[in-house]
Structure 1
Amino acid sequence: MDVPAVPAKVDPDALTAVLDGRWAALRRDVRVRMAAASFRETVGLDVEAHRAQVLDQLRKLATTDLPGLGFDPAYGGGGDVGGSVTSFEMLGFGDLSLMVKAGVQWGLFGGAVQLLGTARHHERYLRRIKDLELLGCFAMTERGHGSDVQHLRTTATYDAATGEFVVHSPDADAAKEYIGNAARDGELAVVFAQLVTGGESRGVHAFLVPIRVGGTTAPGVSIEDCGVKAGLNGVDNGRLRFDHVRVPREALLNRFGDVAPDGTYSSPIESDGRRFFTMLGTLIRGRVSVAGSAGNAAKRALALAVRYGDTRRQFAKPDGEEVAILDYLGHQRKLLPALAASYALHFAQEELVSKLHDIPADAPDEEQRELESRAAGLKAVATWHATSTIQTAREACGGAGYLAENMLPALKADTDVFTTFEGDNTVLLQLVAKGLLTSYKEFFADLSPLATARFVAEQLVDAVLERSVTRKVLERLTESADAEVLFDRDWQLRMFEDREEHVLDGVAQRLRRAGSDPFDAFNSAQDHVLRAGRVHVDHLVLQAFVSALSRCPDADARALLERVCDLYALSTLEADRAWFLEHGRLTAARAKALTAAVNSLCLALRPHARTLVDAFAVPEQFLAAPMLS
């Protein structure tokens, strides 16, 4: 199959300029700093040595202006939310333990103090947190409740007689689990607990609780080291329990809820539920940073695997010349669609970070919820992509990829947990789907016969229209040449959009037909719900890639990116051919043509594979694998 023209040669710097986007100057600055720093490989380090190395690197990082980018300028910060997230993402090119520990200190711990606290907390703590004079923890997850934060069991009961909160872990399930900075270095923890005052629970709030004083465990606090993990062993994860630990009333981070000296509770948000979700919504920076860091880890793995595939030769042609393994279509099939997806996810991430940076503090709830949903969905898809891509890269490098010295095993181990921290991906996709279903809320609010009749009637009309649209799509597929349709950007976008709308309509119908038990209704459709979340994110990612194309000033770079975008779109459609065939969106002949188009794109992009990974501009010290020498 003929592929639209690809330039003979493209300058990778022109691609880097597009990738670096809005925070290009910051990305260049971080790369220079990373290149100047001595890179100490973690291979062979024991847990304690690795932790010590990461803390040393964290202290050096604290001497720069990067950690303070996201903090209020009044306390020495830069007031640059997008720049702060971008700088954390860039750490994803190196030792991911450093990225995670920095994220805990300045993103989660510092971010919670800034976003959930008020002036009294900011004045006392923010500058010390920024300068690493005070190391802290973000103690949310419990042994019995990870994703279900609303039902945490740790309590903070107000004692009006002393003006103190009593923080307590009532049982083993209330132990704070997997808390970064807790096992070794942390002094103060932001502890999420059920606030109880006047005998009434007001839901989960955040409290500042000392866990060490002068290097010694604080009274009433129990700290246990989580020990050796599958990866990220430079991070000192620990378990925390509290035995009636008393903290002053001012320890409550009181932006969204406060307790007066007499125990009276007050909040600018009347609903406990809405207050809880508003509070959590302010903390999405960590989730956004994880998505970006996962993406950069995947880029590093692809850079290693493509460079290896470009030089490693196996089996000879009839003329006796051995073939570079990246010249085999099977090898291209492993790496190039993943490479295209990395580009697509990068542009989606950049768009998300810009939205996070630009959203005003008084944004309407709907706008804030949309941002949270997008962050949740992109984090899920980006981290799953990193997991599968790094595994594929490891396999593509054979036995060399299994050697620790060649970096891929550490990348695989360190990113594995990304799919379940900062939100379990399965739960996050449900959050995305629930947000999408708000457009159907009128149908679920009223189960009267009249509402049911209206819903069925409207769905019947939609079904007729859908069959009409499907006929038109099939007619165009039949009448048009392969290249004219498959490489038509509008057609690609319509296929993604149509799939999203159809799947979401299907979820709504299944929920409407379900019984009166809300749990059973949702649980019986959970597979469909998760699919709705995933296809929505796929559509957003393609839209972001298409939008990025319009911002590319270099004609050759844009022409190459057009084909990379084609590969992302068509390989995604190919992976879901069964759905498109089942629902009449593809004919059998066109499904076969889709595979032929992906093959042709892989062959056309193969000469540019090295250019495409070089454009990521991963600092060379993080690509110095012996297998490439």
Structure 2
Amino acid sequence: MTTRTAPPGELTDLIGGSPAGTALRDRLLTALATDRTPSADAADDRARHVHRRLRLLAGNLPPVAELLRDPEQLAVLSECAALVEPPLYMAVINHYVLCLRSIVALTDDPAGIGAPWRALATGRTKGLFLLTEIGEASSQLGIRTTARFDPATGEFVLSTPSAGAAKFSGVGGSGVPQTAVVCARLQVGGSDRGVFSFVVELTDDAGPLPGVTVSPTVEAPSLPLDYALVRFDGVRVPYRQWLRDGARIDADDAFHDPLGGPDARLARTLSVGQALWATLPSAVAAVARQCSVQALRFSAHRRAHGRLAPGARLLDLRNQQHALLGALAESFALTCAGRSAQGLWARRCAADGHGASGPRAEGMTFSPWTAVDRPLAVLKAVTVRGAVRVAGECQHRCGLAGFLGPNGLDGYRRCTHVFETAGGDSQLILMDAGRTLAQEKDGGQPAGPLPDVPADRSGWWPAVARAQEARLQSDLHRTVRQRTRTVRQRSQAGRTGLGLWNPLLAAAQELGEAYGTRLVADTVAATVASVRDPELRFVVETLAALYGAVEARRSAGGLLATGTLAPAAVRALPEVIDGLCDQLLPHLPLLWEAMGAPQDVVPAPLGADDYAAALYTHLDR
């Protein structure tokens, strides 16, 4: 088969999305690449640098209302920021995905908020989302910041009752106007009415506004942003800046909420997370692709002097092929998952206009996230973990070069790793997903024998992933029923949910991971099935098969424990991976042309044909 050196349009569309998405990506990347002002180290200078870049993006984006209605455009914005400058991506998430999305989703008329909305929409003010409180774990389920309604003025009085209720976010630095969506517990007539969001102006050019206290900057070396603690002392918020989402307070101070309860209201308030989970997979997939392409190019050009084969390329070594071609295959799978997450959220948007599904308060146990949207939350968790693996493996396989700042891999690894906790703790998401799956009525169906598909075919891994999920779900469902029956028989007074689930947390997380693995495997299978071009179909089928074989080898212990795979099948995997690597190697130029960012956009020396010369050039700038 003759191999192409330039990607066909279908591959470009598969990786890059629609023509409109590609055009927006080109515009944003060009704007960011043209702006070569270096980032500063001092906190105040970093804050101004990030704000300037946000304004640059705002000038090249569609109007906010249009942007926030289109999952693909929001995902493209996320990808571009994450590729070019990971700290900027965190600011983009706060400003667009969480702050502005909250306003659009939770109020009928954003313009009715007035000047704060106009400043946010144009980028004159940097937007933040203040949810997490510093003092306790799972603080989202126990928000202590209060917003007391004052009937005399029709305003809300925002207060932080203790140091532990201080909010934590990237609000440090000075000289930058900032406005936040603050999640606080609404109190009307002395009663708790649940957690709502409020638009609160925090700082202007001179610093914090009256009643707002911002701590000195808290350093977070893994991601150089200016984090700080924020406290409120009687800050007055106008009624129009309450994101009330259909709730109201009548003239007689009677409170009405169409959702009917605090847990349902909390789930709705936090439904803004759907926008993050729908776009974060695409962003981390873009980062994973870039890591893989750069590490592969580096290995393809780098010679080694080991005595077994002096002068051989690093990429001639089987262990390097397994690691880096496996990373490329996983980044392809993450790309498919990112497209699927966008599609899920687009369907949510089509259903209700905002992309916020109905709350399921009964799903809140370890965290609120799976109650908001289980598939999207789990896709967030598993794609982030996949990107962390890819970035870490690529960094390791590049030796010292993988740790040098100009090459970018260390920054990408740290950025992806942050999202294990940020955006909803991945471990809690997976445990909650496993717990709810185990308690579903049918408890899953025992898996039958695997289809007779060879392990080097793209259909093998989806079948394995489905079988593994079914076995784990059936086993945990049965265990929960047995333990529940035992508790009832013993009549153990005071037996709590933790008493039932504490011994099963690892099993719940394992089931949640299997569910997420199956979601990704299904998205890869659907993508492969959609490809029409024969040569491209061969390439993506090989990528999909390699992804499955590498995943099976990585998770062999669990697959053997459940009996999903036999020992002989696991022992055969290295040879399967060898054969798939051999099939992919001739197509590498095609793949890294399609899957990597242009060199002028991400000018890391690592991806250059002559690495040493490129590194010298970079250092001499």
TM-score of the pair, normalised by structure 2: 0.86
Q: Aligned ranges for residues 126-205 of structure 1 at < 5 Å?
A: 126-145=117-136, 147-180=138-171, 185-205=176-196
Q: Please, which moves more after superposition, 324-333 or 31-40?
A: 31-40
Q: Could you say which residue in structure 2 is the equivalent of 1:58?
A: 54
CA 1:122–1:85: 2 relative to 1, 3 Å = farther
CA 1:246–1:182: 2 relative to 1, 3 Å = farther
Q: Is the 8 A contact 2:74 2:279 kept in 1?
A: no
Select the residue among 335, 340, 352 that pairs with 1:346.
335
Q: Aligned ranges for residues 541-580 of structure 1 at < 5 Å?
A: 541-580=520-559
Q: Distance in 2 between matches of 1:53 and 1:43?
A: 6
Displacement of 1:80 after TM fit? 2.2
Letter in 1 for 2:393: T
CA 1:255–1:33: 2 relative to 1, 3 Å = closer
Q: Aligned ranges for residues 91-490 of structure 1 at < 5 Å?
A: 91-119=81-109, 122=112, 124=114, 125-145=116-136, 147-180=138-171, 185-213=176-204, 215-233=206-224, 235-315=225-305, 322-359=311-348, 360-362=350-352, 365=358, 372-437=373-438, 439-440=440-441, 469-470=448-449, 473=450, 485-490=454-459
Letter in 2 for 1:193: A
Q: Is the 8 A contact 1:207 1:253 kept in 2?
A: yes
Q: Is the 8 A contact 2:270 2:372 kept in 1?
A: no
Q: Distance in 1 between matches of 2:496 and 2:540?
A: 49
Q: Is the 8 A contact 2:334 2:386 kept in 1?
A: no
SS of structure 2 residue aligned to 1:565: helix
Q: Is the 8 A contact 1:310 1:324 kept in 2?
A: yes
Q: Is the 8 A contact 1:138 1:189 kept in 2?
A: yes
CA 1:127–1:16: 2 relative to 1, 3 Å = farther
CA 1:28–1:188: 2 relative to 1, 3 Å = closer
Q: Could you say which residue in structure 1 is the equivalent of 2:21?
A: 26
CA 1:47–1:300: 2 relative to 1, 3 Å = farther
Displacement of 1:290 after TM fit? 2.5
Q: Distance in 2 between matches of 1:371 and 1:602?
A: 40
Superposition RMSD in Å = 2.9
Q: Distance in 1 between matches of 2:526 and 2:185?
A: 44
Q: Is the 8 A contact 2:68 2:101 kept in 1?
A: no
CA 1:279–1:230: 2 relative to 1, 3 Å = same
Q: Distance in 2 between matches of 1:500 and 1:349?
A: 21
Displacement of 1:551 after TM fit? 2.1
Q: Percent identity?
A: 24
Residues 117-142 of structure 1: CA deviation (Å, up to 9, x unaligned):
23265562544322113333211111
Q: Is the 8 A contact 1:183 1:223 kept in 2?
A: no
Letter in 2 for 1:425: S
Letter in 2 for 1:498: A
Q: Is the 8 A contact 1:185 1:236 kept in 2?
A: no
Q: Distance in 1 between matches of 2:251 and 2:205?
A: 29
Q: Could you say which residue in structure 2 is the equivalent of 1:519?
A: 498
Residues 442-476 of structure 1: CA deviation (Å, up to 9, x unaligned):
88xxxxxxxxxxxxxxx9xx76xx5xx34xx4xx8
Q: Distance in 1 between matches of 2:357 and 2:93?
A: 28
CA 1:63–1:291: 2 relative to 1, 3 Å = same
Q: Is the 8 A contact 1:221 1:241 kept in 2?
A: yes
Relative contact order higher in (CA < 8 Å, ≥ 6 apart): 1
Q: Could you say which residue in structure 2 is the equivalent of 1:72?
A: 65
Q: Distance in 2 between matches of 1:198 and 1:326?
A: 69
CA 1:377–1:393: 2 relative to 1, 3 Å = same
CA 1:86–1:100: 2 relative to 1, 3 Å = same
Letter in 2 for 1:376: A
Q: Distance in 2 between matches of 1:139 and 1:266?
A: 25
Q: Distance in 2 between matches of 1:303 and 1:490?
A: 25
Displacement of 1:329 after TM fit? 0.4
Q: Is the 8 A contact 1:47 1:228 kept in 2?
A: no
Q: Could you say which residue in structure 1 is the equivalent of 2:513?
A: 534
Letter in 2 for 1:72: A
Q: Distance in 2 between matches of 1:257 and 1:436?
A: 32
SS of structure 1 residue aligned to 2:281: helix
Q: Could you say which residue in structure 2 is the equivalent of 1:502?
A: 471
Q: Please, which moves more after superposition, 309-318 or 343-352?
A: 309-318
Q: Is the 8 A contact 1:503 1:532 kept in 2?
A: yes
Select the residue among 462, 465, 471 that pairs with 1:493.
462
Letter in 2 for 1:236: D
Q: Is the 8 A contact 1:329 1:603 kept in 2?
A: no
Q: Could you say which residue in structure 1 is the equivalent of 2:364?
A: none
Displacement of 1:155 after TM fit? 0.8
Q: Does 1:38 align with 2:7?
A: no
Displacement of 1:594 after TM fit? 2.3
SS of structure 2 residue aligned to 1:525: helix
Q: Is the 8 A contact 2:48 2:175 kept in 1?
A: no
Q: Distance in 2 between matches of 1:341 and 1:122?
A: 45
Q: Distance in 2 between matches of 1:486 and 1:376?
A: 30
Displacement of 1:47 after TM fit? 4.1
CA 1:366–1:574: 2 relative to 1, 3 Å = farther
Q: Could you say which residue in structure 2 is the equivalent of 1:449?
A: none
SS of structure 1 residue aligned to 2:215: strand
Q: Distance in 2 between matches of 1:91 and 1:120?
A: 25
SS of structure 1 residue aligned to 2:244: coil
Q: Is the 8 A contact 1:227 1:237 kept in 2?
A: yes
Structure 2 portions without partners, runs of 5+: 361-368, 488-494, 615-621
Q: Distance in 1 between matches of 2:175 and 2:21?
A: 32
Residues 376-413 of structure 1: CA deviation (Å, up to 9, x unaligned):
11111121222222121111111122222222222233
Q: Please, which moves more after superposition, 13-22 or 326-335?
A: 13-22
